[in-house]
Structure 1
């Protein structure tokens, strides 16, 4: 990455971080934001970070929803955030799963987290400085992808015993708590 690329970003997992993870959400009306997600996203945007969704969506490869349905759900998540004053800069998803039932998506790829392909693509597309960026998600795959891409990480966990294990940089109870961790270090 060249020195002129100074965009700082927060790579946000979608399900379980921004919106409630209730399985394979195929209908926009079923989308509900996680508690404090809009507050946390707003604080990060206010701090000057680009907000980029990076989401594994294996339900597409499993045949539970189509790409069009996934687009509609993603648009709903972004609309709910926009209603609360938050703008998502870009959204990336991986529809692949090697053992999926839809042949077109049942492939190995470099974009399915924990691989860092989505983050690296976003960095290229948007001029993001990965060393000045963070990845936030509720799964180990999110953290692993962030570390592989060279970002700092925050894992969203509701387990008070979980405080980091050398794989994650930080842990937080929700996106607002993650935002406080990140902004205190910037």
Structure 2
């Protein structure tokens, strides 16, 4: 009896499943909001259920992107070296639990920041540069992608880029009011959002 594993089925050209992105805000969505400038990863905490949610989404074929403005760095409250160390430890902690983000978008620039970060950037939310970079670099289908966050900045950016948007009651809970905009749907937290996303095919359809 042949117990060899079956050969993997390969998609015919042009029939591959679309690359769908799950763009997840860092602070307030993946990580609890910091009470002080985040100089050390050891001083931060994951939002309950968030890492398991990303792993589940990844297993369902979603490409995970971490996004957000890092104003603590832009204003000099956290040094570039401290941020690089923080970023490395965060990615290491995620990898240890099987989560490997496709890309890590962190905007360190601010028009009113300190040198060398005092400048505008198309990657600064609510601008849309990071989404179009993901489109060009990874072929992600923005109209089949979701942006998940707790503030109006990522929601506005996602809608401008043609993504579907989910606001969360964690973190800022959409109370920042920096922009007058409403998400397509609101969930308690990232875990509840991903649970619905993977269970209901309707949420994976294009806008």
TM-score (norm: length of structure 1): 0.87
1-structure distance, mates of 2:183, 2:129: 19
Candidates 16, 26, 30, aligned match of 2:28: 16
Q: Secondary structure at the match of 2:67?
A: strand
Structure having greater relative contact order (Cα 8 Å, sep ≥ 6): 1
1:127 alignment partner in structure 2: 139
2-structure distance, mates of 1:80, 1:148: 32
Q: Deviations over 1:136-166 (max 9, x none)?
A: 111110111111111101111149x98xx97
1:71 alignment partner in structure 2: 84
Candidates 176, 188, 196, aligned match of 1:173: 188
Are 2:156 and 2:181, in contact at CA under 8 Å, matched by a contact in 1?
no
2:105 alignment partner in structure 1: 92
Q: Secondary structure at the match of 1:9?
A: strand
2:56 alignment partner in structure 1: 43
1:118 alignment partner in structure 2: 130
TM-score (norm: length of structure 2): 0.79
**Structure 2 residues without counterparts, runs of 5 or longer:** 1-14, 175-179
4+ residue runs of structure 1 moved beyond 6 angstroms?
none
Query: Residues 62 and 105 from structure 1, CA distance in 2 versus in 1: closer, same or farther, beyond 3 angstroms?
Result: same
* Number of residue equivalences: 180
- Residues 23-34 of structure 1: matches in 2 within 5 Å? 23-34=36-47
- Measured on the aligned residues, the alpha-carbon RMSD in Å equals 2.3
